[in-house]
Amino acid sequence: MSDGTDIMANSGGGVDPTGMDEPKKMTREDWRKKKELEEQRKLGNAPAEVDEEGKDINPHIPQYISSVPWYVDPSKRPTLKHQRPQDEKQREYTIMGDWYKKGVKEGTIVTKYRQGACENCGAMTHKKKDCFERPRRIGAKFSGANIAQDEFEQPQLMLDYDGKRDRWNGYNPEEHMKIVEEHAKVDLAKRTLKAQKLQEELASGKLSEQVSSPRHQWGEEDQNAQTERDRNSEDEDEDKYADDIDMPGQNFDSKRRITVRNLRIREDTAKYLRNLNPNSAYYDPKTRAMRENPYADAGKNADEVCYAGDNFVRYTGDTISMAQTQLFAWEAYEKGSDVHLQADPTKLEVLCKSFKVKKEDFKEEQKKSILEKYGGQAHLDVPPVELLLAQTEDYVEYSRHGTVIKGQEKAVARSKYEEDVLLNNHTCIWGSYWKDGRWGYKCCHSFVKMSYCTGEAGKDMSNTDLCEEELAAVEEISKPKTLVEIHQEKMKKKKKKHRKSGSDSEGEEKKKQETLKKALNAEEARLKHVEEMLQMDERKRSYNSVYETREPTEEEMEAYRMKRQRPDDPMASFLGQ
């Protein structure tokens, strides 16, 4: 009890046993005493803790709220002063309702550019980079004309928490009064217009006839007028058609004005089940749209299937004509005609038809005027060329069986590479001529790929390189032969055949030996030529002077084998003996 009385006495005096100048680690006994004191305060058996101003602190407030943070003042005792708004900070905030004064200052007109003003417009309250005016070709700094007025200087507003989040801060209620006055003027104009119409009807006598009618006497006319007024009222126009909407897969509420996207009727086949091929028409699950034809892979047209995609549905019926009518309405409205597709469709349809008729008539009149002025009607009435003479220039040759022989050849399939590209005045492509294992141009017999075409002169130069026997053969071939010469050649060939068949094998061997001797002599001459060319400087030697691309004969191959040197052959030393 002595400990408890001491704690209560100390707490009654307003001094916390743990309240020290510096934070110090409490012992186990001090911690236990502190917890007991807190429990007694919560139960009401001990007086509440008092702050520095003598105010009681609620014992149920958590410690992390009542204790002063260490970064504010660690030596202070528990208080709630740091939780309340500070007076010195409240004085900094501006009064609720203050706002920027916008616009330009009136009453002052500046005629000269001032130092430090905006170089573009000439105002003193901003610089050139902050100017909202259109960039001038010559700024106010250099022209000195049309200097803009200064704006109001904007003060630095220090708004508090509520002032920053106030939606209506700075709003002037007088602005709304302008809208109210405008609507009041419109209503007044409607009433005066209605009163004028009523006076005109009274003056013309229409209203008196309606009053004297039997319908008006029985009250039917009043009911019709009342219903007509109700229909024309603005409030009922909004909900006139809302209750009549009852479509499958659509939810429409006239109060909420919310429409739900059209859903598929459960009995219909889903779009994504039309074609199970993953490479077929794309189906968008978010919008439930399939724009292409799902049966296109099967080779079916849109007319053969029950569903051909959303795009086919969009462009069927009067969709295209509707779009053309809408386009005509826009163009007519731009040119001054008061027409609208939804507001007055009948008027627009009649206007569109009359426009088309007038357009066709104008074209016909223009055509007639041109023909009357310049003539040429006979050329327009001429039938097609195929019907004039019942013949065409297309030549087709048929066989006895009816098949096409000539005249309707198929187009030649071309590759992705360039074809028939003629360079350097050539009339044939590279590779159209072949001789002695080399490719060339057929037009000039040139074997150099990027050479310039020399034509017939090039052919003559290439022919001079032939041997005399070949030249003679060429001359004989080029000369036209008579029938007698042809008969004599045939008889000579027959005699040669008979001689060959009756000749002995000795004569054939002699001929082979003679040809082999000639081939050996030619091979020796070739080897000497090769040795001479190898001894010569490479820079002076012509290109491919050692090699030949001509196909060798059998005798030349035999001579090459006989004259070939083999230094690694053990019998090479006996070749010359």
pLDDT tens digits, 467-481: 455 555 545 555 677
Task: Give exposure, 83-112, as e/b (b: 16+ Cβ within 10 Å).
Answer: eeeeeeeeeeeeeeeeeeeeeeeeeeeeee
**pLDDT of amino acid 157:** 77
Distances in whole angstroms, Cα of residue 384 to Cα of each of 232, 367, 376, 381, 392: 64, 21, 16, 9, 11
Q: Which two tokens stand for residue 135?
A: 């960039």
Q: What is the pLDDT of residues 225-254, one digit of tens each?
A: 555 555 555 444 444 444 444 444 444 454
Q: What is the pLDDT of residues 337-379, one digit of tens each?
A: 888 988 888 999 999 999 999 999 999 999 999 999 998 888 8
* Secondary structure (DSSP) of 253-264: ETTTTEEPPPPP
**pLDDT of amino acid 14:** 41
Percent helix, strand and coil across the chain, each to the nearest 5: 45, 5, 50
- Taking the CB of residue 14, how many other CB atoms lie within 10 A of it? 14
**pLDDT of amino acid 18:** 41
**pLDDT of amino acid 338:** 86
Lowest mean pLDDT among 66-70, 92-96, 125-129, 243-247: 243-247
Lowest mean pLDDT among 284-288, 503-507, 561-565: 503-507
**pLDDT of amino acid 136:** 94
**pLDDT of amino acid 376:** 84
Residues 6+ apart with CB under 8 A from 125: 150, 151, 152, 153
Amino acid symbol at 309: G
**pLDDT of amino acid 166:** 85
* Secondary structure (DSSP) of 302-356: TTTSS---HHHHHTSTTHHHHHHHHHHHHHHHHTT----TTT-HHHHHHHHHHHH
Distances in whole angstroms, Cα of residue 79 to Cα of each of 11, 36, 57, 126, 131: 15, 20, 7, 49, 53
Dist. CA 533–CA 526, nearest whole Å: 10
**pLDDT of amino acid 1:** 38
Dist. CA 431–CA 439, nearest whole Å: 5
The pLDDT > 70 percentage for the chain reads: 75
The pLDDT > 90 percentage for the chain reads: 18
Residues in the chain: 577
Q: Which two tokens stand for residue 521?
A: 């002599």
Q: Which two tokens stand for residue 524?
A: 């020796």
**pLDDT of amino acid 117:** 94
- Token look-up 């009359």 returns 354
Residue pair 78/51 in contact (Cβ under 8 Å)? The answer is: yes
* Terminal-to-terminal C-alpha distance of the chain: 148
Compute the average pLDDT of residues 42-69.
Answer: 86
